[in-house]
Amino acid sequence: MAADNGVRERKRASSASKTPTNPIILKEPAEALVPEGEQKPTWKRSAFRRRLRYIIWTLFAISLTLYIAQYFGYLKSKSVRRPSRVDDLASWEPYFPPPEEVVTTADVEKRNAIVAAFKNAWAAYEADAFGSDEYHPISHTGSNLSADGGIGYMIIDSLDTMVLMGLEEEYARAREWVESGLSFERGGKQNVFEVTIRVLGGLLSTYALKNDPLYLRRAEELAALLLPAFDTPSGIPLTLIDLKERKGHADVDNSRLSGTAEATTLQLEFKYLAELTGEEEWWTLVEKVMGVVKRAMRQNVVPIFISPDTGEFHISQVRLGSRGDSYYEYLLKQYLQTDRSEPVYRQMYEAAMTEIDQFLIHKTVKSNLTFTAEMHPYRGPNGELNWRLMAKQDHLACFLAGSLLLGVTEGQQPVPPDPSTWTTEDKRDWRTGVELVKTCMATHETATGLAPEIAMFYDVNHPKAQEADWYVKHGKDGSAILDGRYILRPETIESLFLAFRLTGDQRYRDWGWQIFQSIEQHCRLPSGAYASVKDVETLPVEWEDKMETFMMSETLKYLFLLFSDASILPLNEWVFNTEAHPFPVFSPSFKTGIA
């Protein structure tokens, strides 16, 4: 589809997305029907009564509206404070490098350094724990999510990175394991979302890259075993699945509720599977989930829990970190995956970005850093629902920076983009995306050069707001508890990759290289594997005995792509699932169920 069509379509989508309002219209009460002769002496009294009735009706209508807004509206609380921002969008212009400085070709030396890092880490895993789901690089051991054995978490999550990097020998051994060592018939409770994005996603993307029927066969096998999780009264999947017993399980640790992002980050995978197999069942399964979510929404930013029984949201936090993040990511990507043929997802995405801007985007006082906050619900003295702003940004939320930029250009040419065709919302999102990249980089200004798991920002009224922008929360014993960890997360690097691809601006490569250097210096073990760091502010670092699978599937892949030629996986032809597994864009054989 031509770029200008995309713009037109988006503008249509934008106007269609405006939340319908149902104003209560007060009509003047009808004239009292009284005999003519009696009208004169009483006109003053009648007028007074009319006015009184009008006032009473108006007050009643206002109270009713406020009550409804309070009861049903998630964010209409006066406790939500938002520093006022000068709206200078009209005069704001994005920065792009001059044409002669736009970079689209590989930086071979740096790209090869990333490939070497992957190769070494993989060799360590192969030697210590080949076939295990999880890798503990310090104790040189592996572990599985099921007592029965592994389901390919690490191997399958890493396959497409090997293909892209051209690591043929490693790939051949991994393929052999998928063919003859892999079984999904494992007991115990596995997370439906994690299995889908890592294992189903990894199989499908490797199929897309290699066209090897083994992966599609395995993907179908796994999808069939995941099916029972969707067998709920609402269609919202349960959080857990026993692949051996073929039974879904609710998350008892979270009141049997499902995570919103977890239920809505299965769609790219199942839709692509439907397209490949021609089996509509996979399509409708995940479209149904989106329909339930859309009907349950009271606002366009959504709480992080939803009930699989009722299909209603549970009053819970609104955030861009865990259980919230990829809901927003997949709204945009579902639209892109089907070649922009499902405008409903563009509309939902645009409406969500508007409310994210309205409620969740804030600025620090000291350096004017843009950050994302969270909304936490609480009950007031009379049981009324209120919302408290938490100036807390998970590393996970850094995905939003790149996603906002992708939302503006949809991965289309030219690079850098032409802002003369942009709407005000495009400008708003681009500016926020660019500013968020800077903030995510600012959270790397630590002793290790690595960003913490959670950054707290000083909000306007904080006494330290003039001195610093952010900090890591410490426990009573002074330790950075869990918030100060760096667990090899990819989100900032993912955003740097997207920002670089869409602009050709060398600055994003420089930042990516800077992060890679810090990872090399502080996370790399003598074996070549990588370990998580317990506190990004403590030197020398203390390690945690874990190398997450997303180090291989996302962190190193996005770094590799950042330094690769722009012709590899162009963003108008490929869409990355939330675990960085690339799927091709296609014109869908099935229609959306929620238009």
Enzyme catalytic residues: 194, 325, 453, 491
578 is in an annotated binding site: yes
As measured in angstroms, the least distance from the Cβ of 131 to ligand DMJ is 20
Rg (CA), the chain: 26
Taking the complex as a whole, the smallest distance from the CB of residue 164 to ligand DMJ amounts, in Å, to: 17
> Nearest distance from residue 264's CB to ligand DMJ, in Å?
11
H helices present in 99-257, as ranges: 108-129, 153-165, 168-180, 192-194, 201-210, 213-226
CB 54 within 8 A of CB 28: yes
Residues 448, 453, 459, 464: is their CA dihedral positive or negative? Answer: negative
540 prior amide bond cis, ω within 30 = yes
CB of 579 to ligand DMJ, least distance (A): 5
Within 10 angstroms of residue 449's Cβ, the number of other Cβ atoms is: 16
Continuous segment of H or E residues that includes residue 521: helix 506-522
**Residue 396 or 566 having the CB closest to ligand DMJ:** 396
573/98 Cα distance (integer angstroms): 26
For residue 268, what are its two tokens?
């790219």
CB 188 within 8 A of CB 242: yes
Name the token pair of 73: 């509206």
Cβ closest to ligand DMJ, residue 75 vs residue 562: 562
Contact 419, 428 (CB under 8 A): no
In whole angstroms, the minimum distance from the beta carbon of 490 to ligand DMJ comes to 6
Q: Which is nearer to ligand DMJ, 17 or 267 (CB)?
A: 267
Return the residue matching tokens 């713009």. Answer: 7
Q: Determine the distance from the C-alpha atom of residue 492 to the mean position of all C-alpha atoms in its chain, rounded to a whole number.
A: 12
Residue, CB closest to ligand DMJ:
578
User: Toward ligand DMJ, which CB reaches closer, 429 or 491?
Assistant: 491
Task: Choose between 428 and 581: whose C-beta lies nearer to ligand DMJ.
Answer: 581
Query: Minimum distance from CB of 52 to ligand DMJ (Å)?
Result: 59
Report d(CA 135, CA 155) in Å as an integer: 11
Question: Residue 279 CB, nearest distance to ligand DMJ (Å)?
Answer: 25
Instruction: For residue 399, give both structure tokens.
Output: 């995905």
Long-range contacts of 567-575 (CB under 8 A, 24+ apart): 568/164, 569/164, 570/411, 571/406, 571/411, 571/498, 571/501, 571/502, 572/410, 572/411, 572/412, 572/413, 575/268, 575/333, 575/336, 575/337
Q: Are 547 and 133 in contact (CB under 8 A)?
A: no
Q: What residues have CB less than 8 Å from 533, skipping those under 6 apart?
A: 448, 450, 485, 486, 522, 523, 541, 542, 543, 544
Query: Which residue ranges make up the site for ligand DMJ (CB under 6 A)?
Result: 326, 396, 489-491, 550, 554, 578-579
Binding positions for Ca(2+): 578
Binding positions: 578
